[in-house]
Amino acid sequence: MTGRLTLSPRAQLDIDEIWDYSADRWGIDQAETYVRRLGQHMALIACQPDLGTPCPEIRAGYHRFPCQAHILFYRVVEGDVEIVRILHSRMDFVRHL
């Protein structure tokens, strides 16, 4: 079952910041590749929302799904997936969610 996929404004800003950092550090091609991979993972979650791990210790109703060095945090509302944040795996999740 495929639900609708949306990004919170903060998740969109996360993507922009990841792209900027990657482009500065490793070049535009790598930034494009990495952000495209994030998009592929988001599409996979939209098709199979139960792939992620529930993380009630962080926030009720949230799930997490890894994508290389980042974690996609999302919630499912009436079958639709909202990507809430995309955080580096070393970040303090509770503080940023």
Average pLDDT, the chain: 93
Q: Residues 62-69: what's their mean pLDDT?
A: 95
The answer, yes or no, to whether residue 56 has pLDDT greater than 90, is: yes
Regarding pTM above 0.75, the answer is yes
**Residue type at 33 in one-letter notation:** T
92 — pLDDT class (breaks 50, 70, 90): confident
User: Residue 2 has what pLDDT?
Assistant: 64
Domain that holds residue 51: 5-96
Structure tokens, 49: 């929302």
CATH at residue 31: 3.30.2310.20
User: Residue 79 has what pLDDT?
Assistant: 86
DSSP state string for 10-37: HHHHHHHHHHHHHHHHH-HHHHHHHHHH
User: Residue 5 has what pLDDT?
Assistant: 95
The answer, yes or no, to whether residue 1 has pLDDT greater than 70, is: no
Total structural domains within the chain: 1
